Every structure is written in structure tokens, then in C-alpha cells.
């Protein structure tokens, strides 16, 4: 876990950590007031798996040096202390992504979105399931505290 002390800001790309889980890049979406937590969206560089809820971000729009997807359908709370220092920043023209689910993607250019999932037979279905499992592992402690 990070000891980074600067409060995370919406639009930052950061690495989220949990003791026994693999670290993942996330996009900070919004703070959870008075809880020391944030809503984050999962980010991946596996752009070929894009669905209609994933937004393609070009390398110049993140500062990370490679294309990535913001998975707008996979958002969860995490503790501020789970995040490392910022590694990138979303550019202003995509600031519409910085809202909790459901994100309005109607203003996003069509070439940034993938095709809708067609059902369990779509190979991306299993991939989304694995992404969701990893996200749950990162967020379970924070989520349980927030709902209790």
C-alpha cells in the first residue's frame, strides 16, 4: 500500500494496490466524502477487448505513452491509501468520463467505443468477468466498510 500523501484528484491515472492482489491501473472518478475513499474505474491496455462501455484513450490523452481503455462499467470504491502517486492525467476533452456509473457515453466519438457484448458466447464476456473479479478483490475492504 502506498504512503503517498497527496489527495488523489479526479482524472488522475494511478496504480491501485491490495496486499495479495496484482496492482491495477485505475482512473480516479470522484471522492467519497468523509470516508478517505474514492470511486475509481478500471483501466486496461487490452484495447482489443473493448465493449460499448469501454472508452479508448490515446497515449497523448493520458500521458502514459500507450493506448488504453477506461472500463466505465467497472467502477468501485477504494481507499485513498491504496493508490500510488499519479502516473498520468486524463485530458480535459474527455472529462465527461469523470462521473460515477452510469457514464453518459452519448457524446463520445463512436471510434472510441467497442461493439456491444453479444452474450456469454462472446469471448469478451469471460474477459469482463475476470476484470470484475480483480476489481472486487481490490475494493472489497473499502466496499464492505462503506455499506456497513
Q: Which residues, listed in sequence order, are joined to residue 86 by a DSSP beta bridge?
A: none
What does the DSSP assignment read for the chain? -----SPP-TTEEEEE--TTSPPEEEEEEEEETTTTEEEEEEEES-GGG-BTTEEEE-GGGTTSSS-EEEEEEEEEEEEGGGB-S--EE--GGGGGG-SSSSP--TTS-GGGB-BPP--TTSHHHHHHHHHHHHHHHHHHHHHHHHH-
pLDDT band for position 106 (cuts 50, 70, 90)? confident
User: According to the model, what pLDDT value does residue 84 have?
Assistant: 94
Give the range of the structural domain holding residue 112, as residue numbers without chain letter.
Answer: 12-147
What pLDDT does residue 95 have?
A: 78
CATH of the domain at 38: 2.30.30.110
pLDDT tens, 108-141? 899 999 999 999 999 999 999 999 999 899 999 9
Structural domain count of the chain: 1
What pTM value is reported for the model? 0.90
- On average, the pLDDT of the chain sits at 89
The residues, any chain, with a CB within 8 Å of residue 121's CB and separated by 6 or more, are none
pLDDT confidence bin for 34, thresholds 50/70/90: confident
Asked whether the beta carbons of 111 and 56 are under 8 A apart, the reply is yes
Instruction: Classify residue 113: in a domain, yes or no.
Output: yes
| 114 domain-assigned | yes
Q: Which of 146, 98, 138 is nearest to 2 (CA)?
A: 138
- Residue 2 belongs to a domain: no
Q: What is the pLDDT of residue 4?
A: 47
Is 25 contained in some domain?
Answer: yes
Amino acid at each position: 500500500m502506498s504512503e503517498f500523501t497527496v489527495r488523489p484528484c479526479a482524472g488522475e491515472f494511478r496504480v491501485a494496490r491490495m496486499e495479495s492482489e496484482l496492482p491495477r491501473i485505475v482512473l480516479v472518478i470522484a471522492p467519497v466524502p468523509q470516508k478517505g475513499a474514492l470511486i475509481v474505474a478500471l483501466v486496461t491496455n487490452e484495447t482489443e477487448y473493448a465493449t460499448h462501455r469501454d472508452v479508448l484513450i490515446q497515449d497523448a490523452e493520458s500521458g502514459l505513452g500507450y493506448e488504453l481503455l477506461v472500463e466505465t462499467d467497472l467502477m468501485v470504491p477504494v481507499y485513498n491509501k491504496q493508490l500510488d502517486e499519479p502516473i498520468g492525467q486524463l485530458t480535459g476533452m474527455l472529462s465527461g468520463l469523470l462521473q460515477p456509473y452510469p457514464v453518459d457515453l452519448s457524446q463520445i466519438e463512436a471510434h472510441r467505443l467497442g461493439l456491444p457484448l453479444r452474450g456469454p458466447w462472446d469471448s469478451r464476456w469471460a474477459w469482463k468477468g475476470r476484470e470484475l473479479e480483480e476489481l472486487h478483490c481490490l475494493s472489497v475492504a473499502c466496499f464492505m466498510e462503506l455499506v456497513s
